[in-house]
A and B are shown apart, each in its own frame.
Chain A
């Protein structure tokens, strides 16, 4: 699945940007407007059911910093960022997409990592090995993973 996306992204780079609306938008081509991203990064709606897993482990690890009551079965939720409860009522889908893709576009100098970014780092490393890596790095979340997380966040409405 992932390789398919990468292939699509690579292909897109070669073909004209016109095609982008139908396929995956590469990290460098994402258009932010007031911190929000209007169009789906995959051109399709995300699958909310995949959201919790992405937010719990791997490069997503959102609950390292955020509490999410809907995921209260997952232990050790962090308090660095605000609780994400009700995020789907507070923000539009486009805003959530922008926040998850690159929170620094929405929040000035945010501590939240930029999940759909591939270059412009200081001493980038090869994941958690402590060894050097050269840019462009793979984004921490794929376009599809971001859409899945956004779809899940949209289900988190105020009671």
Chain B
């Protein structure tokens, strides 16, 4: 007999397991610009065994942080969206083209794109994130330098491309040729890394709704990425967030853009299938 559970200990951990996740306001609804109704809570996709209901990270934030996302004039991310608007039309590289030369109006041509990424690219024979796709266009179509994976320019462009998909359900494909990357991402999600021996699931599946020190744990969804964080007053990419979360387990982290993080992004995105694309969102 290895484990002794005194009755009181069982009772107290039991209570924690049973108590519903505490949110700032259970009934808060996210409607952006009085127009775009966001699904911030819905039934978990069938592949996801550990959760019944999925919640956007927005539902765990304070009233003040929540309200910043309700109007684009209040959302600080839109400063960066405007900058990306200029970049969209800017001619760069040896082919002397801009994004708009080929893709025209971003609000038309990019509608629905953010909702299905990361996505298998048949021609390249690989799973592409929005970031790797944008860089493929820069290097192969424009003859321009790639942007850094988590650079400000890249995060801003990702944010711009996300805008026309806001309110659409995340719908990432996990079968077909993407399946093996997805499985790899799932394995990473449940691996207990570092000296703290913590997996993503330990915090974001088993303990969402709980406080870990000053932080109110969410389900670690990526439907809001890139995210404007009040903490560092800039746009943050999903891979930068993953990097920080792995580092915080006292582990050797992975690099943004690594195969591991691309697999992880695909898997984490699929855990949010059914939530609305919220990007660019606001978090603390």
A residues with a Cβ closer than 8 A to B are 34-36, 61, 63-65, 75-83, 86, 90-91, 95, 105-108, 111, 113-114, 121-133, 137, 140
Contacts and interface: CB of A to CB of B under 8 A. Distances in A.
Contacts of A107: 3, 5
A77 B213 CA distance: 5
Chain B interface bracket (under 10, 10 to 19, 20 to 34, 35 or more): 35 or more
B91 interface: no
Contacts of A36: 4
A71 B248 CA distance: 24
B-side interface mostly: loop
Contacts of B243: 130
B6 A76 contact: no
Contact of A128 (B1, B197, B248): B248
B47 interface: no
A95 B252 CA distance: 32
A77 B211 contact: yes
B9 interface: yes
Contact of B247 (A111, A122, A130): A130
10 contacts: A63-B213, A64-B212, A79-B210, A106-B3, A106-B4, A111-B207, A122-B194, A122-B197, A125-B253, A126-B252
Contacts of B217: 80
Given A76-B214, A79-B16, A124-B195, A95 B8 contact: no
Contacts of A80: 16, 207, 210-212, 217
B194 A121 contact: yes
A90 B213 contact: no
Given A122-B251, A124-B252, A137 B195 contact: yes
Contacts of B1: 34
A35 B4 CA distance: 7
Nearest to A124: B195
A38 B191 CA distance: 32
Interface in B177-201: 191-198
Contacts of A114: 197
Contacts of A127: 250
Nearest to A158: B8
Given A64-B213, A65-B212, A80-B210, A90 B250 contact: no
A95 B2 CA distance: 12
Contact of B4 (A64, A77, A95, A122): A95
A116 to B, nearest CB: 12
5 smallest A-B Cβ distances: which pairs?
A82-B12, A130-B247, A76-B214, A132-B252, A130-B253
A75 B6 CA distance: 29
Contacts of B198: 111, 113
Contacts of A113: 195-198
